[in-house]
Amino acid sequence: MSTTREIDDAQSTEPTLLGLEVQLADGAVHKIDAAAGYSAMELMRAAGLPIKAECGGSGVCATCHCRVPLEWADRLPAPANDEIDKLDEIPSADDRSRLSCQIQMTDALDGLVLELQPDSLDDRDGRYLDAAE
């Protein structure tokens, strides 16, 4: 038999659904249900978005490159030195660039907007980059 406290504890462990919005090179905007503790890259993959993410989130391939709109840039934790080093290897990277595998969703990031960059699109059928031209 459950006590009120057990029920309250169970309810408090329910993950809170968060919002993540991803814009692709063709201009399409995808709204994804997210949960705290997952990386933005993992959430994009789980939603079926065409992200390369070749290293699976180890932070070594730089194929999960996204840009963060200015209004969100200051709300993200600063990148670690390893992430900065990897971003330096991407010719098109700029001050708004981040590796989406290094962005962990938190309640504070509910509604985060990311722009998945063409260099990190898995676009084998030409569906996304051709549409952007």
Binding site for ligand FES (CB under 6 A): 41, 53-55, 57-64, 99, 101
Shortest gap between Cβ of 112 and ligand FES (angstroms)? 16
C-alpha span between 106 and 2 (Å, rounded): 30
Shortest gap between Cβ of 45 and ligand FES (angstroms)? 9
How far apart, in Å, are the Cα atoms of 91 and each of 27, 62, 70, 72? 22, 11, 20, 22
Shortest gap between Cβ of 39 and ligand FES (angstroms)? 8
Q: Identify which of residues 18 and 51 has a Cβ nearer to ligand FES in the complex.
A: 51
Among 104, 90, 92, 95, CA closest to 61 = 90
CA dihedral 76, 78, 80, 81 (to 10 degrees): 140
Q: Which residue has the CB atom at the shortest distance from ligand FES?
A: 101
Q: Identify which of residues 20 and 62 has a Cβ nearer to ligand FES in the complex.
A: 62
